[in-house]
Amino acid sequence: MKKTILLLLAAMACSWALAETSFDFSGSLPAGWTATVQPRGFDERGAQFSSSSELTSPEVTNVKKVTVECSCNSAEDNEFSLTVSVGETSFGVKQLAKANDQQLDFEVAEAATGVLKIVISKGSKKSVWIKTVTIDGTCDGETEEEDPLEGLDADYVYTEPTTIINDEETGSNQPYTFIQNNIKVVCTIGARYETYFSVNAGATLTFIATQPMKAIVVKGLIKKGFEAEASSGYIDYADADENEVEAEQVLAVTDIDSTILTLSCDKQMRCYQVNVYFTTTPEIDIDHSESGYSYEWEPTEPTTFNVTFDSLAYMDMSEMLGYASTDLMLFDRKNNYLLDLVVFASTIEAGTGRELETLLPVGTYPINDEYIDNTVQASPGGYDSFDFPTYFLTDVLYDENGYPHQYEPYYIVSGTLEVVAVEGGGEFVVHATSYNGTTVNATYMFAEGEPIDDAVTNTSTDRKVTKELREGRIVILRNGVAYGADGMRL
């Protein structure tokens, strides 16, 4: 006779009398079991673990055999393993194959009594699922699971929305539970500081209410590489592939329709404020741009600039990036103007004739966001400390190294760059429009014989620098100091 223990919201108990006991992980952790890193979720394969974790049961008695039913989606040999012990007795370690519902038997000659531990060891972003654990012994004593609604007022009337902020500082890297406005917040591993509460990478954050929740919206910060799953509803969060993201709406879950919502997070999330909705779904406006750039620093009043640039700096980044790309920086030092364009074309190699004096192949390059050959990149905007080409700068103030450190930016989003061969040299002609409608009409002409090489050269100051790509953005190196492509010291 087999007894199956299911984790429900009510208390469950182990049996003294049965010779075999099975624990079911298909819906949640069985009553009395704990995990150092909580499951990422639950499905027909059982509890999913995307990080190494140690599972611990209540005390078991007279056990000689432990059978684990599990699944694994990694094809790498010896990458995933399970180690089983009861009390001080080791039942051994077994490697996992890439298979669903595999049965692993762990056996010893003499029966053991004590706490049953299963250590999941993994080495990649793949997952292990634990479906059932069966012992040929009994579970020693009763273990009741805490009612998740304990401490909450069943008659509480929620506001719309109900807001949660941190109200106590307890430190980091520890589990915590608190109740605010009749919502219980439970974190397996995280932190509580003056301005936020957070969930660590690989841990879970749970919200519990006495009425079904409709949606939650998190104002906060997510770390680079953040991914998450929700136990119910539809989850949406900002793209943090390249950098951490801080936003008014950094994560949202809609259509929850449950009193319990658990978020499983691959990377850390800080919650400055969480709004919980019970009757309506708010407008969700999550920033899905990889960069999180903004146009907010550009002046809003459109104007027109007619500029004749007097010097050029450039860098052919094609080899560095693996696709055709050249960064052009045009200067008008007299009027304190600077235009930085990223052109998806390679410079013309030396020795190809007179056309070399045009630097780029003759033709017209549209400015757009298509990121294809023979176009100019439209600007996605900037951070508060870094702007992304193509942009036009006015009122530029230069630092002691000759680089701009203060200016007004205009983010170029459309227009054309024309490369023209003229008698005795070449010419760049720009007709461009910024995000807020400012027009930039500009020219730059260089004569035959003017020095052109494949290092960045500021012809007005005769200073040479180098560039490299770091985390997807251009970095200028000069005298051991790093600057952004806009000249901002990094």
Q: Is 178 exposed, middle or buried (0-12, 13-18, 19+ CB in 10 A)?
A: middle
State the architecture of 162-277 in CATH terms: Sandwich (2.60)
Helix (H) or strand (E) holding 67: strand 53-72
Q: What is the mean pLDDT of residues 197-214?
A: 92
CA dihedral of residues 247, 253, 254, 259 (deg, nearest 10): -130
Task: Give the residue, 465 or 89, on which the prediction is more confident.
Answer: 89
**Mean pLDDT over the full length of the chain:** 79
Task: Decide whether 3-139 matches 162-277 in CATH topology.
Answer: yes
User: Residue ranges per domain, the chain?
Assistant: 3-139, 162-277, 304-484
pLDDT at 19: 57
CA distance 23 to 231: 21
Q: Are 410 and 388 in contact (CB under 8 A)?
A: no
What is the helix (H) or strand (E) element at residue 321, kind and residue range? Answer: helix 318-321
Separation CA 429–CA 434 (nearest Å): 16
Whole-model pTM over 0.95: no
| Separation between Cα atoms, residue 114 and residue 128, nearest integer Å | 25
The residue among 167 and 452 whose pLDDT is bigger is 167
pLDDT digits (tens, 9 = 90+) for 23-49: 888 877 887 888 888 787 777 788 888
How far apart CA 390 and CA 329 sit, in angstroms, is 10
Cα–Cα distance for residue pair 128/91, rounded to 1 Å: 19
Strands 439-447 and 304-308: parallel
Residues paired with residue 237 on neighbouring β-strands, in sequence order: 251
DSSP bridge partners of 470: 473
The single-letter DSSP state of residue 146 is P
Question: What confidence tier does 412 reach under pLDDT thresholds 50, 70, 90?
Answer: very high
Show Cβ contacts of residue 217 under 8 Å, excluding neighbours closer than 6 positions.
161, 249, 251, 252, 274, 275, 277, 282, 284
Per-residue pLDDT tens digits for 68-108: 999 888 766 657 889 999 999 999 999 888 888 999 999 99
CA dihedral angle for residue 317, residue 323, residue 328, residue 329, rounded to 10 degrees: -60
Question: Topology of domain 3-139, per CATH?
Answer: Jelly Rolls (2.60.120)
| Angle, vertex CA 348, rays to CA 346 and CA 352, nearest 5 | 155
Give φ, ψ of 199 to 5 degrees: -120, 135
Range with lowest mean pLDDT among 47-51, 428-432, 461-465: 461-465
Q: DSSP characters for 426-450?
A: EEEEEEEEETTS-EEEEEEEEETT-
Torsion sign over Cα 41, 47, 52, 54: positive
Alpha carbons 281 and 253: distance in angstroms, whole number: 10
